Amino acid sequence: MKNQAKYVRADESWMLGAFVLPIDKFDAVKEMISWFDSQNPLRVSALGPKTMNATVFSQAVAKVSAAIGLLSAFDASVASVEQLEMFLPEDVVLASLRETRTALGNLPVFWEAPPDRAEQTIRLIAEVNSEIEKPNFGFKLRTGGVTADAFPTSIQIAKVLGSVMTQRVPIKFTAGLHHPVRQYRDEVKTKMHGFLNVLGAAVLAREHKWEVKQIAAMLEDEEANAFSFGNQSFAWRDWEIDVTRLKQQRRFVTSFGSCSFDEPREDLRALNLL
């Protein structure tokens, strides 16, 4: 929270998203909200507990809703909950997911599932979204961790990107995207996905209707000079998207979570991209 209070006042605060805060930490940070103000607000992405079955999940959603209500009692110009992130158990069915909307209202929610059941989860989310005028459910993909086995393959990520594109479901990413470009990292004994690779592939795939193989090719590119930024466009090799279209794609390609705001910026500066 101390870092976040500093970051919201930094020159690069334009690229800073919401602060990922577990629901069970809400009470602990109430005194720290005074570090923020209406010019430098605390925007929270609430992190719900991980549950393993539909019954416990429903109970947890009710508690999440109550916790968010308590934080929402603060001046909304100073502190606000922008969205919820929460793991979706395998046995949650359409009716159960519909019920969460009753509890959570219009709050945007990103439901997380592992890569091996991402496509079925995305279809479920899309079905719920289709029932209302302003859809507010998205999908959250974990793109790494502290061990090699926590990193999904490029093909797995590509299939997820293809699925959210087809189903018109928003996506956010979490974990493992500390560096702009894909590279081998000794601390995890594997190649870490780059956030320029992942975010770039997500928007270019939507713009150019890529197949999975083409998406995976961009995800696996380790050459920093393959990525370029012009005044009015972003490009990877011969593929380009202009700024206007990029802004439109932000509805679907939203953000990535990272335990560091410094590391990504330092790497971008080293590549002369920031």
Tens digit of each residue's pLDDT (9 = 90 or more) over 110-166: 999 999 999 999 999 999 999 988 889 999 999 999 999 999 999 999 999 999 999
Where a domain ends, among 49, 83, 107?
107
Q: Write the DSSP symbol of residue 113.
A: -
- Distance CA(98)–CA(109), nearest Å, equals 12
Does a structural domain hold residue 127?
no
Instruction: Give 218-261 pLDDT, tens digit per residue.
Output: 999 999 999 999 999 999 999 999 999 999 999 999 999 998 99
Does a structural domain hold residue 124?
no
Instruction: Give 67-107 pLDDT, tens digit per residue.
Output: 998 877 778 899 999 999 999 999 999 999 999 988 999 99
Q: Residues 161, 80: one domain?
A: no
Q: How many CB atoms lie within 10 A of CB 220?
A: 17
| CA 180 from centre of chain | 15
Does a structural domain hold residue 151?
yes
Q: Residues 68, 174: one domain?
A: no
Q: Residues 200, 259: one domain?
A: yes
Q: Residues 146, 79: one domain?
A: no
Give residue 145's domain range: 141-264
Q: How many CB atoms lie within 10 A of CB 269?
A: 11
Does a structural domain hold residue 250?
yes
Q: Residues 169, 101: one domain?
A: no
Where a domain ends, among 107, 132, 164?
107
Residue 240 contacts by C-beta under 8 Å, 6 or more apart in sequence? 233, 234
User: Residue 105, by phi and psi: left (phi above 0), alpha (psi -120 to 50) or beta?
Assistant: left
State pTM to two decimals: 0.95
The pLDDT of residue 150: 95
Q: How many domains does the chain have?
A: 2
Does a structural domain hold residue 118?
no
Does a structural domain hold residue 115?
no
